[in-house]
Structure 1
Amino acid sequence: MYSYFYTNITFNASEVAHSIQKSDGIIPGIRSGQNTVAYLKRQMKSLIFIGAICMSIIAMVPIFISAHYGLSRLSFLGTSVIITVSVITDTKNQVLSQRRSKKYIAKAV
């Protein structure tokens, strides 16, 4: 629920649509102006909804696991799962970036 309010405050679809139009960019199949603003708002709301559902599932998985197996206290919570996944993803991206840069340097020499 918080994500809906926060994103509506921080994401200004009118400003983004104006920036796209100013840089001569287009969204295929969408006319510039108010149609672009409406499209961006619709896409933003659907992405927020999907993200909120995923976050709710991640937060509830430890609760269901502890209830199913009769554990009184589970050593991890949804927040720690999210942090762990983001750290693993960031580490993977950094390793891939280092590998790409070494390949590029090897080809240049």
Structure 2
Amino acid sequence: QNIQKYGGYIPGIRPGRSTELYLQRVMNRVTFLGAVFLVVIALLPYLVQGIIRVNIWLGGTSALIAVGVALDIVQQMEAHLIMRHYEGFLKKGRIKGRR
């Protein structure tokens, strides 16, 4: 309903039930792949521990938290770099005679 309300559409898919089925199928695929990825990340430390026979104190949940924090830090750094770039760009474009 929201797609129709705002005039959106998916090219190659008919509006209505076909669009609903298409979006449901895409969401199921994305959700399944995301779940498989999370399982792999959660089990990876235990698999490595079994292969190299060394105790690892980093569990799957800790790894997920560490990756999430690292990604957040990278996004914040990119945002700061972009803001710096735009600040420099705006300073260069000032009209002569103005401060």
Superposition TM-score, scaled by structure 2 size: 0.85
Q: Does 1:95 pair with 2:74?
A: no
Secondary structure (helix, strand or coil) at the match of 2:58 reads: coil
Match of 1:30 in 2: 13
The aligned residue for residue 42 of structure 1 is 25
CA displacement 1:42-63 (0-9 Å, x = unmatched)? 0010011101111111111111
What is the number of equivalent residue pairs in this alignment? 91
Moved over 6 A (4+): none
Match status 1:62 vs 2:45? yes
Q: Percent identity?
A: 33
Larger radius of gyration: 2
- Counterparts of 1:82 and 1:29, CA distance in 2: 37
C-alpha distance in 2, partners of 1:79/1:35?
Answer: 39
Specify which structure has the higher proportion of helix: 1
Instruction: Select the structure with the greater relative contact order (CA < 8 A; seq sep ≥ 6).
Output: 1
Task: List alignment gaps of at least 5 residues for structure 1.
Answer: 1-17
Query: Cα RMSD (Å) of the superposition?
Result: 1.1
Rounded Cα–Cα distance in structure 2 between residues aligned with 1:34 and 1:50 = 24
With the length of structure 1 as denominator, give the TM-score of the two structures.
0.78
C-alpha separation in 1, matches of 2:83 and 2:53: 49
Unaligned runs of 5+ in 2: 92-99
